[in-house]
């Protein structure tokens, strides 16, 4: 039996009127901020100590699909229409420093490669590019055109660099394929057939286990061997679910949260995918779910969860800490 769902710690709305696509925590000894990128291209900076909008960045008009902060403290905004905006700090404010057009419109989120000072971006023809944050050029490309099943791949839906397994990246394709690429050799090490239209996936390098959500009622769990071979583990059917838009494994690897098209968020134990609770605070599709990687003093929790989506507000949760 599912436990009684916890209540959100707080709901952030303010002046946000558009769908919110992306979230990013910025937590250190001086600040506790939450960044939110919306459908009109505005990035709102929330002060979690006051639960108020501290500032907003309005330099673009294309939806903010992902947000990153680099090791050198640059803020990177990926916009849907193939634009990467790079901000630098100036007297405690963010100033737009560079705007790069990689000329491909996609719903796939970029991913940061901190060790390479680069980001991974989707490209046309099922390719993925490594965009240097030094030269602002696509320095290398993972192009599957030579694969025998290239015509079955479709567009790139989701990517995830395996930060703790240097040089490897997982890429999910529209046609229902999950490929493990070696970025150094520009070669596919393993492949796995999954549901078509995979919307989201996440991977845990400590368990060598991942999870895929798609435009269906299924969660697919897979594993990766020490020799980097992908294999199917099991499928979990979800009741009254038509699609999964976001999956996020908590940093302590105890919980995974699935955000659904109807606004529900389903909590599962990560190792065995045992159902824990269903959160029903949101009423429309969930677009992003993130966790803080350190304590948030303003909420007296070691790990704060934030979720957002089409209904244009952000819910904050202290989940089974």
pLDDT 10s per residue in the chain (321 long)?
Answer: 566 788 999 999 998 999 999 999 999 988 999 999 999 999 999 999 999 999 999 988 899 999 999 977 799 999 999 999 999 988 778 999 999 999 999 999 999 998 889 999 999 999 999 999 999 999 999 999 999 999 999 999 999 999 888 799 999 999 999 999 999 999 999 999 999 999 999 999 999 999 999 999 999 999 999 999 999 999 999 999 999 999 999 999 999 999 999 999 999 999 999 999 999 999 999 999 999 999 999 999 999 999 999 999 999 999 987
Nearest 10 degrees: Cα torsion 228, 231, 234, 237: 100
Encode burial over 116-128: b for 16+ CB neighbours within 10 A, e otherwise: bebbbbbbeebbb
Long-range contacts formed by 208-211: CB under 8 A, 24+ apart: 209/233, 210/170, 211/247, 211/249, 211/256, 211/273
Three-state DSSP class for residue 44: strand
What's residue 234's pLDDT?
Answer: 96
What's residue 4's pLDDT?
Answer: 77
Sign for the pseudo-dihedral over CA of 95, 134, 73, 90: negative
**Of 103, 147, 95, 134, nearest to 121 (Cα)?**
103
What's residue 184's pLDDT?
Answer: 92
DSSP one-letter code for 2: P
Encode burial over 167-195: b for 16+ CB neighbours within 10 A, e otherwise: ebbbbbbbbbbbbbbebeeeebebbbebb
Phi and psi at residue 268, to the nearest 5°? -130, 150
What's residue 96's pLDDT?
Answer: 95
Q: Domains in the chain, start-ordered, CATH in brackets?
A: 108-237 (2.130.10.10)
Q: Residue 157 is encoded by which pair of tokens?
A: 């839906």
């Amino acid at each position: 039996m599912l436990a009684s769902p916890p209540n959100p710690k707080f709901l952030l709305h303010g002046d946000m009127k558009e769908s919110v696509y992306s979230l990013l925590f910025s937590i250190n000894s001086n600040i506790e901020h939450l960044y939110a990128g919306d459908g009109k291209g505005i990035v709102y900076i929330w002060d979690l100590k006051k639960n108020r909008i501290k500032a907003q960045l309005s330099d673009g008009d294309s939806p903010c699909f992902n947000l990153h902060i680099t090791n050198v403290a640059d803020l990177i905004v990926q916009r849907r229409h193939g634009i990467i905006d790079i901000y630098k700090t100036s007297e405690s404010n963010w100033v737009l420093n560079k705007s790069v057009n990689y000329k491909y419109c996609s719903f796939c989120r970029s991913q940061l490669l901190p060790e390479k000072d680069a980001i991974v971006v989707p490209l046309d023809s099922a390719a993925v590019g490594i965009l240097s944050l030094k030269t602002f050029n696509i320095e290398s490309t993972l192009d599957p055109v030579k694969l025998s099943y290239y015509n079955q791949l479709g567009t790139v839906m989701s990517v995830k660099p395996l930060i703790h397994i240097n040089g490897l990246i997982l890429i999910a394709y529209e046609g229902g394929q999950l490929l493990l690429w070696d970025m150094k050799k520009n070669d596919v090490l393993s492949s796995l057939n999954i549901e078509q239209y995979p919307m989201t996936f996440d991977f845990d390098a400590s368990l060598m286990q991942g999870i895929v959500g798609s435009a269906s009622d299924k969660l697919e769990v897979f594993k990766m061997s020490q020799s980097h071979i992908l294999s199917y583990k099991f499928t979990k059917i979800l009741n009254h679910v038509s699609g999964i838009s976001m999956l996020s494994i908590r940093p302590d690897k105890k919980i995974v949260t699935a955000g659904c098209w109807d606004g529900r968020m389903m909590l599962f134990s990560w190792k065995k995918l045992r159902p824990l609770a269903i959160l029903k605070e949101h009423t429309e599709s969930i677009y992003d779910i993130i966790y803080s990687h350190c304590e948030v003093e303003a909420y007296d929790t070691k790990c704060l969860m934030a979720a957002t989506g089409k209904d244009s507000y952000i819910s904050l949760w202290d989940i089974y800490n």
